[in-house]
Amino acid sequence: MSKSIATGVALAAAALLAVPSGAIAKKADGDRVNAAKECRAERGDTDATREAFRETYGANKNKRNAFGKCVSQKVRAERRERRADRREAAKECRAERGDTAESRAAFRDKYGTNKNLRNAFGKCVSQTAKANDDEEQEAAPTS
């Protein structure tokens, strides 16, 4: 009986660990898909543009790994940008939260959503980062 309980606990723990990694993979997959589209467009259709693409991104002897290198480079750049956006949003939220007890209480009331309002800082960061990203998307020229 105790063996089946231990097995059940182990399976439950494995299931809990699998969910967050799947959620993270979806975000990374979206970055990779978008990067692949950008690289396909940059690679072009003519022999000349493909050769130039290989020269730009290729790292091995025959430069045939150029597409993968292009995708990896663009994914890393997107992740760096997203991290920088979150850091900037956290700075803005720290400034908004303030140092006094009254300002912190008002901050928790404004952003907190759980029972004790302790998730206010994370909610502020995610809302601010999303708002900043939306503003960047509107300001960016469409190709």
- pLDDT, one tens digit per residue, over 81-112 is 999 999 999 999 999 999 999 999 999 999 99
Q: What is the pLDDT of residue 20?
A: 45
pLDDT in tens, 9-60: 444 444 444 444 444 445 557 889 999 999 999 999 999 999 999 999 999 9
Taking alpha carbons only, the member of 99, 103, 91, 98 closest to residue 129 is 91
Contacts of 132 (CB under 8 A, 6+ apart): 85, 88, 89
Taking alpha carbons only, the member of 43, 41, 26, 136 closest to residue 82 is 136
**In the numeric block, which tokens belong to residue 44?**
């072009």
> Model-level pTM?
0.66
Average pLDDT over residues 116-132: 95
Contacts of 56 (CB under 8 A, 6+ apart): 66, 70
CA separation for the pair 46, 12 (Å, rounded) = 53
